[in-house]
Amino acid sequence: MHGGGGVAATGRVGGGASCWRGVSRATRLRLLAAAVGALLFFTARPCLAASEPGSSGGSSWGRHRLATSGFYPIWEDTGSLLEPADIQLASNGFRVRIPGDVQLGLQPTYYLHRAPNLEAKVSILKRAELQLALRQSVIVLFRNAQDRMITPVYASRLTNPNSNVVLAPASLHATWRPFSFLLVHGSATVLPMLSNEKDFENRAVGGLSAMVELPVVRGHSLLLHGGEVGLWDHDFAYLGASYRLNYAWFMMQLGFAYRLRPEGAQGSPLLSVGAYL
């Protein structure tokens, strides 16, 4: 996937071979996304009327048709937990629901990057239309974490050649369901960053995010993602969209987000593939 956003594009510096060639890649992607979205919306309407999200309906479509976790790292999650005794084994999260309305998890691919991590999430309110949860995560970035990418085509803003960095995001998450076809997952997060300060200062930064979920067809969801990090001391904002599928035990979510900074936009593809056990 392309890693850039093109917000600060080069401008027109010459004629294209055809009118389609003259259309920027970003515009083409937007048109494609709009077409796919419209197709899904119109084909989904009959199903929406008949389906009641949350019930298995006796089909092969999975039981986890609504997101129970965030997609964009650190800054978003949901107010809901897995069902009791459920296990999620996905590339962006191994999660297990344990007694006491608690869910434990970790991000497995970060271990491939030698970044150990854990998270605990506790449900504090469970109503049909509103759920609240608290989450505490810890991610350890050992020295030179920027060099842990598997492929050489991605680079990190963060470099820590002289320190181990501990990220400990604490957050409150809400899932509000005003309509059967619409869920809003909101998150408020504080991210403390702790190290020996040889590379950068210890600080805690707040952020707000929202994830709008549209369960358009049984087992299929479209999600819109957005967040602001830094708040009054703005650091970056992000916007993105994703598609989520749950069929039987299989789940997949594929999306793309842009991180927006004054220097430009970073495109960021996201993927999660896994299973519910």
Within residues 183-222, the interface with other proteins by CB under 8 A covers 191, 193, 198-201, 203, 205
Minimum distance, C-beta of residue 61 to other proteins, in the bound complex (Å):
17
- Report the distance separating Cα 251 and Cα 81, nearest Å: 16
Q: Where are the alpha helices (DSSP H) in 108-199?
A: 108-112
Kindly calculate the radius of gyration of the chain based on its CA atoms and give it in whole angstroms. Answer: 20
Q: Per CB under 8 A, which of residues 90..119 are in contact with other proteins?
A: 90-92, 107-110, 112-113, 115
**Stretch of 10-18, 41-49, 122-130, 176-184 contacting other proteins, by CB under 8 A:** 10-18
> In the window 31-70, what residues touch other proteins (CB under 8 A)?
none
Cβ closest to other proteins, residue 118 vs residue 130: 118
Alpha helix (H) residue ranges in 51-175: 108-112
User: Is residue 174 within the footprint of other proteins (CB under 8 A)?
Assistant: no
Nearer to other proteins, 47 or 260 (CB): 260
Size of the site for other proteins (CB under 8 A): 83
Q: Are strands 182-194 and 203-217 parallel, antiparallel or unpaired?
A: antiparallel
CB closer to other proteins out of 7 and 102? 7
Write out the binding residues for other proteins, residues 126-165 only, by CB under 8 A. Answer: 139, 141, 145-146, 148-162
Report the alpha-carbon distance of residue 49 to residue 51 in Å, rounded. 6
Between CA 33 and CA 25 the distance in angstroms is 12
Is residue 249 a contact point for other proteins (CB under 8 A)? yes
Identify residue 215 by its one-letter amino acid code: P
Of 49 and 153, which CB lies nearer to other proteins in the complex structure? Answer: 153
Q: How many Cβ atoms are within 10 Å of 226's Cβ, its own excluded? A: 17
Output DSSP code: residue 92.
Answer: T
Given 44, 66, 74, 133, the residue binding other proteins (CB under 8 A): 74
CB atoms within 10 A of CB 194: 14
Does position 171 interact with other proteins (CB under 8 A)? The reply is: no
CB of 196 to other proteins, least distance (A): 11
**Is 175 an interacting residue with respect to other proteins (CB under 8 A)?**
no
- Our CB check for other proteins shows the closer of 40 and 89 to be 89
Structure tokens of 54?
A: 């949350």
Nearest to 76 by CA among 68, 88, 64: 68
